[in-house]
Amino acid sequence: MSEFVTVATVEDIPPGTGQTVEVHGVWIALFNVDGAFYAIDNTCPHAGGPLGEGYLDGCIVECPWHGWRFNVQTGARPENPAIAVTCCPVRIEGNEVQVALPEGFK
């Protein structure tokens, strides 16, 4: 796993929202679900839509382009769990939200 990178502060991403952040040149979608932070690949596998700009309902984000949905905690698509996006480790250090890329993820 690569090193953790500070991408935001806790206050930058209020509960129920997300944003797109960059980790080692890779775009990641970062979400706050009731105070817990989750990070997934920003690219929707359907047509490349930006998941970080999607609508978050609980732990499910909906791609803004074509409505494909993904669980931000697991990366799985509720309608077909065989389709998933990569999840990235997240940690909170003080007030900083830090994300690392999983091994082999580009």
Residues 6+ apart with CB under 8 A from 104: none
Q: What is the pLDDT of residue 2?
A: 79
Would you say the C-alpha torsion 72, 48, 20, 3 has a positive or negative sign? positive
Domain ranges of the chain: 5-99
pLDDT at 29 over 60: yes
Q: What is the CA radius of gyration of the chain?
A: 13
DSSP code at position 24: T
Share of the chain above pLDDT 90, in %: 93
Q: What is the pLDDT of residue 52?
A: 97
Number of Cβ atoms within 10 Å of the Cβ of 13? 18
Question: Across the chain, what does the average pLDDT equal?
Answer: 95
pLDDT tens digit sequence for 31-82: 999 999 999 999 999 999 999 999 999 999 999 999 999 999 999 999 999 9
Distance CA 10, CA 89 (A): 16
CATH superfamily of 5-99: Rieske [2Fe-2S] iron-sulphur domain (2.102.10.10)
